[in-house]
């Protein structure tokens, strides 16, 4: 089983490096774990990302592309992972750290509970717990059926909520409390708000979360249609 962790990142090369190292160092079967990262071509620190990549595992792939919403960027690296044969697609984040040894083996055991390969899983992030799937895990079949990892319609937020909502509609959500990917979100005091934080929340573009909430609330019917596509495979 091949795992792909997908992470858009901006102006956080050091944080992304820490995340990548935690993912690969704690995996038991390291040759089947891949990290795919989307870096904006206009990122002021793009050269630092390139420099860090020289010391990162061979299974780490940085894609440098046009600046766009993370909702679209996730889909670019998801396609790279899918085309390379990934069986499992996992949402990553550059302010997160994996904390559980042999997380890949433990995750595989959970996936085996769903032989039809339709599931929306997530780890403990020390913020949301079982209440919300902040970093969804989906199968190759899920991605292939819907044709995307993130819906591509959001400015910044609600990508995880979209996937989680579809999972709830088909009764296929699965929380994994014994695997931890700690989210070092600035609101917890575990990291500082930086330029990327300000860019996505308080710039002249407005609060992107507020804008995306409106989009999410207007697209309930679309998610029900997507859920129906996945129900076909449930056994």
pLDDT one digit per residue (tens) for the chain, 235 residues: 999 999 999 999 999 999 999 999 999 999 999 999 999 999 999 999 999 999 999 999 999 999 999 999 999 999 999 999 999 999 999 999 999 999 999 999 999 999 999 999 999 999 999 999 999 999 999 999 999 999 999 998 999 999 999 999 999 999 999 999 999 955 566 555 446 555 555 555 568 888 999 999 999 999 999 999 999 999 9
31 close to 85: Cβ distance less than 8 angstroms: no
C-alpha span between 23 and 168 (Å, rounded): 27
Tokens standing for 44? 């002021």
The whole-model pTM stands at 0.92
Of 65, 58, 54, residue with least CA distance to 8: 65
Could you give all domains of the chain from N- to C-terminal order, each with its CATH number?
3-231 (3.90.550.10)
Query: What is the dihedral sign for C-alpha 2, 34, 98, 134?
Result: negative
60 strand-pairing partners: 35
C-alpha span between 117 and 31 (Å, rounded): 22
C-alpha span between 19 and 63 (Å, rounded): 16
154 close to 217: Cβ distance less than 8 angstroms: no
């Amino acid at each position: 089983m091949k795992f792909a962790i997908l992470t858009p990142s901006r102006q956080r090369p050091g944080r992304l490096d820490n995340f990548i190292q935690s993912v690969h160092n704690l995996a038991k079967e390291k040759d089947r774990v891949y990290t795919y990262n989307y870096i904006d071509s206009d990122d002021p620190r793009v050269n630092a990302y390139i420099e860090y990549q020289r010391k990162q595992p061979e299974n780490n792939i940085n894609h440098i592309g046009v600046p766009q919403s993370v909702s679209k960027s996730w889909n670019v690296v998801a396609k790279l992972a899918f085309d390379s044969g990934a069986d499992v697609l996992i949402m990553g984040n550059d302010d997160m750290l994996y904390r559980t040894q042999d997380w890949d083996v433990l995750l595989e055991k959970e996936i085996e509970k769903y032989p039809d390969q339709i599931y929306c899983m997530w780890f403990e992030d020390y913020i949301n717990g079982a209440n919300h799937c902040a970093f969804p895990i989906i199968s190759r079949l899920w991605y292939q059926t819907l044709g995307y990892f993130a819906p591509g319609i959001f400015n910044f937020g609600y990508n995880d909520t979209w996937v989680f909502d579809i999972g709830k509609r088909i009764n296929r959500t699965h929380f994994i409390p014994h695997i931890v990917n700690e989210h070092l979100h600035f609101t917890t005091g575990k990291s500082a708000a930086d330029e990327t934080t300000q860019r996505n929340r308080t710039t002249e573009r407005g609060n992107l979360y507020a804008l995306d909430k409106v989009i999410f609330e207007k697209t309930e019917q679309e998610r029900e249609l997507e859920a129906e596509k996945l129900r076909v495979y449930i056994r």
